[in-house]
A and B are shown apart, each in its own frame.
Chain A
Amino acid sequence: MPESAPSSDTPQPESTQQQSKKEEKAASFGAVFLTTFTTVFLAELGDKTQLAALLLSAESGRPVLVFIGASLALISSSLVGVVLGRWLSRVLPPGQLERLAGILMIALGLWLGRQAAVSMFPLA
């Protein structure tokens, strides 16, 4: 490949490459968004956060204000989680982090599943 080759051809493949990269990025943004949304939403329903929100809204009779406060708190806490995750991904090697995260997720899944199962089919 001559180094000083005129680049009349190169911009086109580059731009298509960039485009496909962009599409890939957009798709993965949507996929990551959807995965996170579904997981967090399902896990959060019926959780203690909602219990707190319910109690506060029942006592105060001002559900809008309670909703704003709860939303701000939840957005802050998810920001803390995201920042913590980014920090961990910089500190730990990816393989090790994935293994730790996988074990954590499976443990959470088992615990959550047990809780739900016990609540659905109470034994004694």
Chain B
Amino acid sequence: MQLPLLASTFLTVFLAELGDKTQLAIVTISGTSSRSGAVFAGSASALVLASLLGAGAGGSLSAVIPTDALQLAASVGFLVIGGRLLLKAGQDDETEEIAQDAE
């Protein structure tokens, strides 16, 4: 075991990941869902699988997978989730107002 290499990989990736869009997405999904366990399991396995592809495929990854098209698909997913959250926020405000009126 080469501890320095392990530690340097961990630190590099961890620091690169802090405040990244992926983490922001995780914060968003976790904050607005009651199932933190599912969010953690889903995000952790997705990240591990993505890094498995990265470490395994080496430099040829972008030749094998159309990463740009996938990122475009991801951006559509972000927009859909964002739109749904905004709709839900409006509904929650309405129910809050109704509850306040009832009081």
Say whether A and B bind each other: yes
- Complex interface bits, A33-60 against B, C-beta within 8 A gives 1, otherwise 0: 1111111111111111110111011101
What residues of B have a CB within 8 angstroms of the CB of A48 in the complex?
Answer: 16, 20
Q: What total of chain B residues lie within 8 Å of the partner, measured CB to CB?
A: 80
Bound-state Cα–Cα, A79 to B2, Å: 25
Bound-state Cα–Cα, A38 to B54, Å: 17
Indicate if A8 sits at the interface (CB-CB under 8 A).
no
Bound-state Cα–Cα, A23 to B24, Å: 30
Q: Is the CB of A40 within 8 A of B71?
A: no
Known: A42-B71, A75-B48. A99 touches B39 (CB 8 A): no
Q: Is the CB of B9 within 8 A of A39?
A: no
- Complex interface bits, A105-124 against B, C-beta within 8 A gives 1, otherwise 0: 11111111101110110000
Bound-state Cα–Cα, A116 to B93, Å: 35
**Residues of chain A at the chain B interface (Cβ within 8 Å):** 28-30, 32-50, 52-54, 56-58, 60, 62-86, 88-89, 92-99, 101-113, 115-117, 119-120
**Residues of chain B at the chain A interface (Cβ within 8 Å):** 1-2, 5-14, 16-18, 20-33, 35-56, 58-59, 61-62, 65, 67-79, 81-86, 88-89, 92-93, 96
